[in-house]
A and B are shown apart, each in its own frame.
Chain A
Amino acid sequence: MTDIPVPGAPQPEEAQIYDRGYRTFEGERTGVPGAIRTLVVHSMRTALGLGRSAKHKVVPVLIILIAYIPAIIFIGLAALLPGEELEETLIPSFPEFYSGTIVAIYLFAGFVAPSLLCTDRRTGMLGVYLSSPLDRVTYLLGKAIAVFIVLLLVIFGPPLLLLIALTLEGSGPDSLGAWIETFGKIFLGSIVMGTFFAAIGLAVAAATDRIVVATATVLAIIPASAIAVGLLVDENDLSPSLRLLSLPTLPRELIFRIHGESDGPWSITANPTWTLWAGWGAWMIVAIGFIWFSYRRLLVRR
Chain B
Amino acid sequence: MSLVTASGLVKRYGSYTALNGVDFEISGGITGLLGANGAGKTTVLGMIIGLHRADDGALRVLGQDPWSAGAAVRERLGYSPEHHTLPPDVKASDFVRHIAELHGMPKEEANTRSSDALWLVGLGEERFRPMGTMSTGQRQRVKLAQAIAHDPQLILLDEPTDGLDPVQRDAMLELIKNVSTEFGIDVILSSHLLDEVEAICDGVVIIGEGVTLASGALDELRGTGATAVVMDIDGGDPEVEAVRAALANRGMVVSVLGRRLTVEGDDEAVFDVARDACVDAGVGISRLSRRRLSLEDVFLERLG
B-binding residues in A (CB < 8 A): 1, 20-25, 27, 29-32, 34-35, 38-39, 42, 46, 51-53, 56, 119, 122-125, 127-135, 299-302
Contacts and interface: CB of A to CB of B under 8 A. Distances in A.
A39 B102 contact: yes
Q: Considering residues B79, B104, B151, B156, which has the most beta carbons from chain A within 10 angstroms of its beta carbon?
A: B104
Contacts of A302: 42, 45-46, 81-83, 158
Interface of B: 13, 42, 45-46, 49-51, 70-72, 74-75, 77, 79, 81-83, 85-87, 89-91, 94, 98-99, 101-106, 109, 112-113, 116, 119-120, 124, 130, 146, 148, 150-151, 156, 158, 182-184
A32 B71 contact: yes
Given A24-B151, A30-B101, 5 more contacts: A20-B124, A35-B101, A39-B102, A130-B50, A133-B102
19 contacts: A1-B116, A23-B151, A24-B151, A24-B184, A25-B151, A29-B104, A30-B101, A34-B106, A35-B71, A35-B103, A38-B101, A51-B91, A123-B83, A128-B79, A128-B81, A132-B74, A132-B102, A133-B104, A134-B102
Nearest to B153: A24
A241 B202 CA distance: 69
A130 B81 contact: no
A141 to B, nearest CB: 13
Interface of B is mostly: mixed
A120 to B, nearest CB: 9
Contacts of B113: 23, 25
A302 B79 CA distance: 9
Given A29-B105, A124-B83, A131 B119 contact: no
Contact of A29 (B49, B75, B85, B116): B75
Contact of B105 (A1, A25, A32, A130): A25
Nearest first, the 10 A-B pairs at minimum CB distance are: A29-B104, A131-B79, A133-B71, A38-B101, A132-B102, A25-B151, A124-B83, A123-B85, A22-B183, A52-B89
Given A123-B87, A299-B13, A30 B77 contact: no
A1 B111 CA distance: 11
A39 B13 CA distance: 30
Contacts of B158: 302
Contacts of A23: 113, 116, 151
A124 B81 contact: yes
Nearest to A26: B151
Contacts of B99: 128, 132
A30 B104 contact: yes
B51 A300 contact: yes
A56 B39 CA distance: 41
Q: Considering residues A21, A25, A56, which has the most beta carbons from chain B within 10 angstroms of its beta carbon?
A: A25
A98 to B, nearest CB: 33
Contacts, number: 118
Contacts of A52: 89-90, 130
A22 B102 contact: no
Contacts of A125: 85-87
A14 B82 CA distance: 42
A127 B75 CA distance: 15
Contacts of B89: 52-53, 56
A81 B98 CA distance: 50
B103 A132 contact: yes
A30 B150 CA distance: 12
A253 B71 CA distance: 42
Q: Considering residues A39, A122, A130, which has the most beta carbons from chain B within 10 angstroms of its beta carbon?
A: A130
B75 A31 contact: yes
Contact of B49 (A22, A35, A46, A130): A130
Given A31-B104, A302-B45, A123 B90 contact: no
A266 B131 CA distance: 50
Q: Considering residues A23, A38, A119, which has the most beta carbons from chain B within 10 angstroms of its beta carbon?
A: A38
A223 B280 CA distance: 98
Contacts of B183: 22
Q: Considering residues A56, A124, A132, A301, which has the most beta carbons from chain B within 10 angstroms of its beta carbon?
A: A132
B106 A38 contact: no
A89 to B, nearest CB: 48
Nearest to B73: A133
Nearest to B48: A131
Nearest to A134: B102
A30 to B, nearest CB: 5
A21 B112 CA distance: 12
Nearest to B77: A131
Contacts of B182: 22
B74 A133 contact: yes
Contacts of B150: 25
Nearest to A136: B51
A199 B113 CA distance: 36
A135 B79 contact: no
B90 A51 contact: yes
A25 B101 CA distance: 13
Nearest to B79: A131
A46 B88 CA distance: 12
A31 B46 contact: no
A158 B106 CA distance: 34
